Amino acid sequence: MKSKSIISMILVAAVCAVFCACGNQTDPKPSEKSAQTTTATQSEAVKPEHRKVIIDTDTGADDASALIFAANLENVEILGVTVLVGNVDLEQSAENALAALETAGCDAPVYKGSADTLDGTVKNAFSVFGKDGMGDVDLIHPKKQAEDGDAVDFIINTVRNDPNEVELIALGPATNIAKAIQKAPEDMKKVKRIWSMGTAGLGSGNASPVAEFNVYADASAYKLMLDSGLPVTVIGLDMCDGEAMWTDRQFEELEALNDTGKFIADSFGKIREFYKSNGSENVMNCDSTAMMCALFPGFVRDTVNTHASCVTEEGVTYSQVIFYKEGFTYDIVKNDFDYTVTLVTEADKASFYSNYKNSIR
Query: Is 62 within 8 Å of 89 (Cβ atoms)?
Result: no
Q: Using the Cα atoms of residue 155, residue 180, residue 58 and residue 264 in order, give the sign of their dihedral.
A: negative
Distance CA 347, CA 243 (A): 10
All residues at 6 or more sequence positions from 97 whose CB lies less than 8 Å from its CB, including other chains: 57, 59, 63, 64, 67, 81, 83, 110
| 144 neighbors 102 (Cβ within 8 angstroms) | yes
For residues 134-148, one letter each, b for 16 or more C-beta atoms within 10 angstroms of the residue's C-beta and e for the rest, the string is bbbeebbebeeebbe
Label residue 317 exposed, middle or buried (CB < 10 Å: 0-12, 13-18, 19+).
middle
111, 74 in Cβ contact below 8 A? no
Q: Which residues are catalytic?
A: 58
Rounded Cα–Cα distance for residues 320 and 274 (Å): 24
